[in-house]
Protein backbone atom coordinates (compact mmCIF):
# COMPACT_ATOMS: atom_id res chain seq x y z
CA UNK A 1 0.00 0.00 0.00
CA UNK A 2 2.83 2.44 0.83
CA UNK A 3 4.29 2.26 -2.68
CA UNK A 4 0.92 3.12 -4.27
CA UNK A 5 0.77 6.29 -2.21
CA UNK A 6 4.33 7.27 -3.13
CA UNK A 7 4.70 9.76 -5.99
CA UNK A 8 8.18 10.45 -7.34
CA UNK A 9 8.73 14.00 -8.60
CA UNK A 10 11.65 14.19 -11.04
CA UNK A 11 13.74 17.30 -11.47
CA UNK A 12 16.44 18.32 -13.90
CA UNK A 13 19.55 17.67 -11.83
CA UNK A 14 22.22 15.80 -13.74
CA UNK A 15 22.90 13.87 -10.52
CA UNK A 16 19.43 12.27 -10.19
CA UNK A 17 20.06 9.24 -12.43
CA UNK A 18 23.64 8.80 -11.21
CA UNK A 19 22.82 8.86 -7.50
CA UNK A 20 19.34 7.38 -7.83
CA UNK A 21 17.08 9.97 -6.20
CA UNK A 22 14.02 12.06 -6.98
CA UNK A 23 13.89 15.83 -6.66
CA UNK A 24 10.92 15.27 -4.37
CA UNK A 25 8.72 12.48 -3.05
CA UNK A 26 5.08 12.90 -2.09
CA UNK A 27 3.47 10.43 0.29
CA UNK A 28 -0.09 11.36 1.16
CA UNK A 29 -0.08 15.04 2.03
CA UNK A 30 3.65 15.14 2.87
CA UNK A 31 6.22 16.34 0.34
CA UNK A 32 9.95 15.85 0.93
CA UNK A 33 12.29 17.80 -1.34
CA UNK A 34 15.81 16.42 -1.70
CA UNK A 35 18.92 18.43 -1.06
CA UNK A 36 18.85 21.01 -3.83
CA UNK A 37 21.77 23.05 -5.06
CA UNK A 38 21.91 26.12 -7.30
CA UNK A 39 22.14 24.25 -10.60
CA UNK A 40 22.88 26.81 -13.30
CA UNK A 41 23.94 29.50 -10.83
CA UNK A 42 27.34 28.08 -9.94
CA UNK A 43 29.17 31.40 -10.14
CA UNK A 44 26.46 33.56 -8.55
CA UNK A 45 26.66 35.21 -5.13
CA UNK A 46 25.57 33.14 -2.11
CA UNK A 47 22.28 35.09 -2.00
CA UNK A 48 21.59 34.49 -5.69
CA UNK A 49 22.55 30.84 -5.34
CA UNK A 50 20.00 30.63 -2.53
CA UNK A 51 17.32 32.28 -4.66
CA UNK A 52 18.07 29.89 -7.54
CA UNK A 53 17.92 26.91 -5.19
CA UNK A 54 14.61 28.05 -3.71
CA UNK A 55 13.17 28.50 -7.22
CA UNK A 56 14.05 24.86 -8.02
CA UNK A 57 12.46 23.78 -4.73
CA UNK A 58 9.32 25.82 -5.48
CA UNK A 59 8.98 24.12 -8.87
CA UNK A 60 9.31 20.68 -7.25
CA UNK A 61 6.70 21.57 -4.63
CA UNK A 62 4.28 22.75 -7.32
CA UNK A 63 4.79 19.55 -9.35
CA UNK A 64 3.89 17.65 -6.17
CA UNK A 65 0.75 19.71 -5.62
CA UNK A 66 2.18 21.78 -2.77
CA UNK A 67 2.93 25.45 -2.30
CA UNK A 68 5.80 27.27 -0.63
CA UNK A 69 3.31 28.21 2.09
CA UNK A 70 3.04 24.51 2.97
CA UNK A 71 6.74 24.20 3.87
CA UNK A 72 7.18 23.27 7.52
CA UNK A 73 10.93 22.61 7.59
CA UNK A 74 14.07 23.61 5.71
CA UNK A 75 17.66 22.53 6.17
CA UNK A 76 20.43 24.72 4.76
CA UNK A 77 23.94 23.43 4.20
CA UNK A 78 26.49 26.25 3.82
CA UNK A 79 30.10 25.81 2.80
CA UNK A 80 31.19 29.07 4.44
CA UNK A 81 29.91 30.25 7.82
CA UNK A 82 30.47 33.87 6.78
CA UNK A 83 27.66 33.48 4.20
CA UNK A 84 25.00 32.78 6.85
CA UNK A 85 23.50 36.27 6.91
CA UNK A 86 23.38 36.73 3.13
CA UNK A 87 21.87 33.26 2.67
CA UNK A 88 19.53 33.79 5.61
CA UNK A 89 18.19 37.02 4.14
CA UNK A 90 17.52 35.32 0.78
CA UNK A 91 15.78 32.46 2.63
CA UNK A 92 13.75 35.06 4.50
CA UNK A 93 12.58 36.63 1.22
CA UNK A 94 10.59 33.43 0.62
CA UNK A 95 9.93 32.20 4.14
CA UNK A 96 9.83 35.40 6.23
CA UNK A 97 6.11 35.14 6.96
CA UNK A 98 5.85 31.34 6.64
CA UNK A 99 8.63 30.78 9.17
CA UNK A 100 9.23 27.03 8.89
CA UNK A 101 11.46 25.23 11.35
CA UNK A 102 14.92 25.71 9.85
CA UNK A 103 18.47 24.61 10.39
CA UNK A 104 21.75 26.01 9.06
CA UNK A 105 24.76 23.71 9.08
CA UNK A 106 28.25 24.49 7.85
CA UNK A 107 29.78 21.67 5.83
CA UNK A 108 33.21 21.27 4.30
CA UNK A 109 31.97 21.18 0.71
CA UNK A 110 29.03 20.19 -1.47
CA UNK A 111 28.76 17.94 -4.51
CA UNK A 112 29.68 20.83 -6.79
CA UNK A 113 32.61 22.74 -5.23
CA UNK A 114 31.26 26.06 -6.61
CA UNK A 115 28.02 25.72 -4.65
CA UNK A 116 27.87 27.71 -1.43
CA UNK A 117 24.39 26.42 -0.43
CA UNK A 118 22.22 23.34 -0.61
CA UNK A 119 18.69 23.24 0.81
CA UNK A 120 16.21 20.51 1.74
CA UNK A 121 12.53 21.21 2.37
CA UNK A 122 9.56 19.35 3.81
CA UNK A 123 5.96 20.41 3.27
CA UNK A 124 2.60 19.29 4.57
CA UNK A 125 -0.39 20.04 2.37
CA UNK A 126 -3.38 20.99 4.56
CA UNK A 127 -6.55 18.91 4.20
CA UNK A 128 -8.32 22.04 2.88
CA UNK A 129 -5.92 22.16 -0.10
CA UNK A 130 -6.18 18.49 -1.08
The CATH number linked to 107 is: 3.30.1330.40
Number of compact structural domains in the chain: 1
Q: Is residue 1 part of a domain?
A: no
Q: Is residue 107 part of a domain?
A: yes
pTM of this prediction exceeds 0.95:
no
Q: Is residue 33 part of a domain?
A: yes
pLDDT tens readout for residues 46-105: 999 999 999 999 999 999 999 999 999 999 999 999 999 999 999 999 999 999 999 999
Using CB atoms within 10 Å of the CB of residue 24, give its burial: 0 to 12 exposed, 13 to 18 middle, 19+ buried. buried
Q: What is the span of the domain harbouring residue 85?
A: 6-129
Amino acid sequence: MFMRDRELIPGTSPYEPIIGFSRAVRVGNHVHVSGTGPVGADDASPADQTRATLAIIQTALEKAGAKVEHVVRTRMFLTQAADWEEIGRAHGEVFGTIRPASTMVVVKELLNPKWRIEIEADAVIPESDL
